[in-house]
Structure 1
């Protein structure tokens, strides 16, 4: 490195309360590792921020030295954009504290916290808020893109439950965004992703939650699945808000199978009243009905979603689920639903409190979504990379004719076309104006980027 850069690095190290890591330092490789094992980039610097002042200092340093800036909270983004090659990674993971005020039913959550920490701290007081499906997801990334979870049909998306944000801007300023202070920024942070600054603190509304749940899955052979799926879809139309209908297709016991079912958050005995109708959909090859605590529900997929696999996915929203869409879902981009290395896929119901929020109230644009589709490929041999990604892309193309939009948190490598599919035209225009106001130089572009209006193709701004 040039000598001037070395001197400035020392100055930044002295300014930070948290450690500054360079290649070769203890902890550097652990800090740059994220959920998708395909991501193997090497930042020039990793600022492991201890507080908001550290974040501001790191942003100013990165801009002064013209470094690309990535921001890590949970590291679950499929592209691993938080890890910039030869750039500066602002690592928020040391900022993982959660403070709950049970009387006010509020949680203050630092920007590097994981969902599990929020769940545990809230459930200690019989409270909860919408917080995804996997406990080691980052609160920040999930919430800024919208934030689905098992409580969303009852209480809205994660972003709908944010009362206030603390943000460090592209200029290194610390600001508040809520209904009274910077209300337009508050609007954009609820669904617009990490485009407008680094959120270092969230204040969430919490809701009484006794912590009892019911999980039910009914498995069908592939030939029997279409009729079951059609009935499951029709039952979903009248499902109570405590129920989130779910479906899956993949390989089980060496052959393709599919399942329909639900996750019920509330009194399990009430949830069991829906099971006879699900059992009557056909002849399931197997069924699984389990009562779980809410914390068990939130962690049940943690081992499946571990950090050692190579990953790629495609996701879309459906505002309706036609018979043809069901068939395409079950076939997984193939003529007969069979083949080596096909991704598994899921459907998760929206509606309820999600749809009750007027679409203009937040940047999240897909309030009319009925189901979210995700095709997720997972493997461990680098030699399979191209084949696995090609299969997922083929599956995604097969579902595209039925799609009504996309979830920004599930976008992969679709680029600007993916961003356009995630937002309505009027909301994308409003987000662009917000980008012009808060980040006109596109400092925060390692994301599903809302480009400022003066940006030119081929560069960040």
Structure 2
């Protein structure tokens, strides 16, 4: 196979742009950056890293909070040249390159009124989101992103290119659906698409902090149609925002607003129709690049009254923004043993996040997020693997129940026994149980 990858070294044009990722805390310097355009390029880059004993990182959208894509003095595979999206309207499927962003997927499918679950921020990479599971506004109606993958094309640790589906390498197909980047570099995804139309409805009601309001909002969410995803946030310790997002005919979603109107007298109420594409990009500015970030989270099997009280707890000092997003629906329909993704019985996902610009604040802001998330820990069971930061092996044990972690470890033994792909939320093979660290070595960044 013809290899045409471009190797970029420190100081060369494009080097600094390629190594910059979403989290401004990450400032590492790979020895080599391999810009890849084909499967053969990726396979050659994997072999090169192994021959030179270089740590290997894989860049798609660069949204991982720890910056696993950027290995200090290692080799970074840059997949952004493999960003094509092709739609088969007749079969309602899309083939998506491993370096594509969610916005490209949405832009290609929406002219036909089609979409698949694709996160909430358009500049997120399809690869990282999907390999960790892939939550989004369509998940309650149509399943997680990983539930909609029909096949993966993968470059494995020995440079072999394989296809994983229910019929080919079904064990690998199982592991890629939630097991992260532990088993290879995915160069193409084939997705199932759904006829969702092009319109959406967003409802946001702002209140003073109130456990009664949040409990009533929770109760409404429990009986809401699957097209609705209820979400809430607690901002700056003094502002509670509750509401939902509805994908589809906005008039059909407006029935839920009458129930929210009964919650009390809000500071403000904003109910607006928007296109699905606008919905998918509305948080892009808030989640822009180059800001320093840290977050911590949990899965809540039930949003109990006690959990709500913990959510609204405020301590002195900086207060992270906290959020809740409803699960259930099609997410819970999938049998638990069907994929590596776990905790499908989750009622809400919880997150606490901080963003700032001054590097001197790093230790305090990280501590703030951890401390705030700890309030919900007694009510939690598990965590979304894409929410994990620098928790290491302890975080991985939270993300996967013991039986799934054992199965993932056995899969790792088959496809990556030397742990070549360890810059991730690492599933350690039995041959390397004491691997030193899954975080890229660096004095800068999380």
* TM-score, normalised with respect to structure 2: 0.96
Separation in 2, partners of 1:207, 1:364? 21
Give SS of 1:261's match: strand
User: Would you say the 8 A contact 2:228–2:245 is kept in 1?
Assistant: yes
TM-fit CA distance, 1:18: 3.2
Separation in 1, partners of 2:290, 2:67? 14
User: Would you say the 8 A contact 1:70–1:82 is kept in 2?
Assistant: yes
Matched, 1:147 2:134: yes
TM-fit CA distance, 1:340: 4.2
Give the direction of change, closer, same or farther, for the CA distance of 1:198–1:458 in structure 2 (3 Å limit).
closer
- 5+ residue gaps, structure 2: 439-446
| Aligned match for 2:260, one of 250, 259, 278 | 278
Give SS of 1:31's match: helix
| Aligned match for 1:178, one of 139, 149, 165 | 165
Give the direction of change, closer, same or farther, for the CA distance of 1:170–1:460 in structure 2 (3 Å limit).
farther
- 1:321 maps to 303
Give the direction of change, closer, same or farther, for the CA distance of 1:372–1:147 in structure 2 (3 Å limit).
same
- 2:383 maps to 406
TM-fit CA distance, 1:404: 1.2
Which aligned pairs between 1:152-301 and structure 2 lie closer than 5 A? 152-222=139-209, 225-251=210-236, 256-301=238-283
| Aligned match for 2:110, one of 96, 120, 123 | 123
Which aligned pairs between 1:101-140 and structure 2 lie closer than 5 A? 101-140=88-127
Which aligned pairs between 1:342-361 and structure 2 lie closer than 5 A? 342-361=319-338
User: Would you say the 8 A contact 1:442–1:460 is kept in 2?
Assistant: no
Separation in 2, partners of 1:404, 1:458? 26
- 2:444 maps to none
Give the direction of change, closer, same or farther, for the CA distance of 1:201–1:370 in structure 2 (3 Å limit).
same
Separation in 2, partners of 1:143, 1:116? 14
| Aligned match for 2:288, one of 303, 306, 316 | 306
Separation in 1, partners of 2:299, 2:67? 23
- 1:365 maps to 342
Deviations 1:93-131 (A, max 9, x none): 111110001011110000000000000000011110000
TM-fit CA distance, 1:16: 4.2
TM-fit CA distance, 1:285: 1.2
User: Would you say the 8 A contact 2:226–2:329 is kept in 1?
Assistant: yes
TM-fit CA distance, 1:343: 1.1
Separation in 2, partners of 1:404, 1:452? 25
| Aligned match for 2:371, one of 394, 403, 408 | 394
- 1:424 maps to 401
User: Would you say the 8 A contact 1:316–1:403 is kept in 2?
Assistant: yes
Give SS of 2:206's match: strand
Runs of 4+ in structure 1 deviating by more than 4 angstroms, as ranges, are none
| Aligned match for 1:56, one of 15, 40, 43 | 43
Separation in 2, partners of 1:140, 1:104? 22
- 5+ residue gaps, structure 1: 1-14
TM-fit CA distance, 1:341: 2.7
Separation in 2, partners of 1:458, 1:160? 31
- 2:66 maps to 79
Separation in 2, partners of 1:125, 1:19? 36
TM-fit CA distance, 1:274: 0.7
User: Would you say the 8 A contact 1:165–1:186 is kept in 2?
Assistant: yes
Give SS of 2:238's match: strand
The count of corresponding residues between Structure 1 and Structure 2 is 437
Matched, 1:66 2:53: yes
User: Would you say the 8 A contact 1:119–1:128 is kept in 2?
Assistant: yes
